[in-house]
């Protein structure tokens, strides 16, 4: 048997003002998107904002449905819309925020496994990592590439 370790590197900020203007803008757009979430069952409102290689920002929110699991997470709504509207563009960075009862969650809320897998394939399509900014009211964390959040991504071309 051989033991191996996975190390995850991320940046953590306790003050939004330490971020770049671009990162702050993405977090603000993600928070605005969370306000438009359709989440009558969970009351968990998530927003995602993507910066594309053409400079466009695409924002989306989670959309629930009584016929669970027919709803979709904010991250996948944003990624799928971006790829449909701007198929030649890559995603440079993504900000994610979550709210409950109209208030930003105190700590970061990470993308679910399905969203991580979609982000992994988006990185593969583009050939470059996506910076992921996860914002909470008191803590903001940034990872450079989805492999920090999904080290063992499914790869359907592996043989």
Residues annotated catalytic, as ranges: 75
Rounded-to-integer distance, Cα 1 and Cα 93, Å: 38
Residue 113, classed as helix, strand or coil, is helix
Rounded-to-integer distance, Cα 46 and Cα 96, Å: 7
How many other CB atoms are found less than 10 A from the CB of residue 51?
A: 23
Q: Say if residue 21 is preceded by a cis peptide, omega within 30 of 0.
A: no
Q: 139 is written with which tokens?
A: 């803590």
Residues 118, 75 contacting (CB under 8 angstroms): yes
């Amino acid at each position: 048997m051989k033991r191996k370790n996975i190390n995850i590197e991320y940046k953590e900020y306790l003050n939004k003002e330490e971020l770049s203007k671009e990162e702050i803008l993405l977090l603000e757009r993600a928070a605005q998107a969370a306000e438009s979430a359709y989440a009558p069952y969970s009351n968990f409102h998530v927003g995602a904002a993507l910066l594309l290689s053409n400079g466009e920002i695409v924002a989306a929110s989670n959309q629930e449905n009584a016929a669970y699991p027919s709803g979709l997470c904010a991250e996948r709504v944003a990624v799928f819309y971006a790829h449909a509207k701007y198929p030649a563009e890559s995603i440079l960075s993504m900000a994610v925020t979550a709210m409950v009862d109209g208030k930003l969650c105190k700590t970061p809320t990470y993308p679910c496994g399905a969203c991580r897998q979609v982000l992994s394939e988006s990185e593969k399509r583009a050939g470059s990592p996506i910076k992921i900014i996860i914002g909470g009211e008191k803590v903001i964390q940034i990872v450079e590439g989805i492999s920090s959040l999904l080290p063992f991504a499914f790869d359907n071309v592996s043989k």
